[in-house]
Amino acid sequence: MALDIVILAAGQGKRMNSALPKVLHPLAGKALVRHVVDAARSLNPRRIVVIYGHGGEAVREALAAPDIGFARQEPQLGTGHAVMQALPLLAQPGPDDLTLVLYGDVPLTRPASLAALVGAAAGGKLAILTVDLGDATGYGRIVRGAGGAVLRIVEHKDASEAERAIGEVNTGIMAVPTRRLGGWLDRLSNSNAQGEYYLTDIVAMAVGEGVAVATAQPSAEWETLGVNSKSQLAMLERIHQRNIAQALLEQGVTLMDPARIDVRGLLSAGRDVSIDVGCVFEGDVVLGNDISIGPHCFLRNVRVRAGTRIEAFSHLEDAEVGAHCRIGPYARLRPGARLDEHVHIGNFVEVKKSTIGAGSKANHLAYVGDAEVGRKVNIGAGTITCNYDGVNKSKTVIGDGAFIGSDATLVAPINIGAGAYIGAGSTITKEAPAGKLTLTRAKQATIESWRPKAKRTD
């Protein structure tokens, strides 16, 4: 059996009140439709076809990949019409091949639920993902006959009062025998309240032809929720973050408040990891064992090794942090920062594209950029590496055991030798030899004749 997947993503999303196509709005830092594509890929389909319409080029650019085909739906005349546009891109079907129809604005359906639906469709059946709702307003109802067999789906606007009392609803997600799909779509009519071609009408056609109609249900109702407004998007964001937090808790991570963490990518954590409130993780973040992260920290594409403590309000991006380091509070590690073990980066210290050797410290108010800092170096408060001359970036090299006094200015390119001492307040423009004290210091003078100007009283 070969599986093709069609993702409907042509809607405008007027209620989003945005120029951005609805399916490109982010959930957990990733476009809604990207969540759907990732779930689709987990099923190893033969091909994926995305149906686009409003904002089409933006959708194509966001999803462009060798395994994805695109078909434009213009105008948008319903779900059945949308799937019609995919037919030319589907391969000649075998007898057991299936087409799975997904929706680009329904981002949280688990791959396991989709796999169960595909399994229910085996043997030439049509399978529908359904869910039981307390309030089914607006949803198509599953109409069953004697013995519970599915007879058809009736849309809410076309349903009778008795049919509207049904709680089992169609999610729109279905697996269809591909060899029958084209014929069923050709027979669709738009004689309904919406004037659209409903994909759901093929269910009655299947029943009429003696094709068995099966159903499957997801493990949670939220797997089938779609996004039509910013309010719904925010609701799904919190559901998704709650699920991530629950998974972290089950892995043994301590979350000071599971409702106040945001993961917008992948977060991998070892044993005895503690995360305080308000932290945001983006991209690919890997935390080793015995790591503590203080409140309101931001980590993007970061590797942190065991025993490190990251204090409050620290910002780390595209950086690597060694074991048993102490970062922050209010520290910033920019792209290219690489810290060895037992490094201290303190409050209001910024490190960019620099390596910091084991045991080195920059505890206060410093900038280290485009630098190679050795082991057990002390960088005093107010020190900066002047790495940019307005045109080029240049490198600063500081040898092992060097001591950089407070408020030093190191003008790159420059080399500070191992064990060198730089006097406080110095501007260093030439090599500072190893083991020597180097400083620049203007002669201090007191002007005895100086008097402050008298203040005006008017």
The whole-angstrom separation of Cα 84 and Cα 196 is 13
Cis peptide, bond prior to residue 413, ω within 30 of zero: yes
Residue burial 275-302, b: 16+ Cβ < 10 Å; e: rest: bbebbbbbeebbbbebbbbbbbbbbbbb
Two structure tokens written together for 10: 């042509």
In the chain the first and final C-alpha atoms are separated, in Å, by 94
Backbone φ and ψ for 79, nearest 5 degrees, come out as: -70, -40
The whole-angstrom separation of Cα 26 and Cα 264 is 10
Two structure tokens written together for 151: 């007879």
Query: 35 catalytic, yes or no?
Result: no
To 5 degrees, how large is the angle CA 377–CA 383–CA 388? 105
Residue pair 369/354 in contact by the 8 Å Cβ criterion: yes
The whole-angstrom separation of Cα 153 and Cα 118 is 19
Residue 93 CB neighbour total at 10 angstroms? 17
Two structure tokens written together for 174: 């279905």
- Spot the catalytic one: 156, 296, 324, 364: 364
Backbone φ and ψ for 350, nearest 5 degrees, come out as: -120, 130
Q: What residues are annotated to the active site?
A: 364
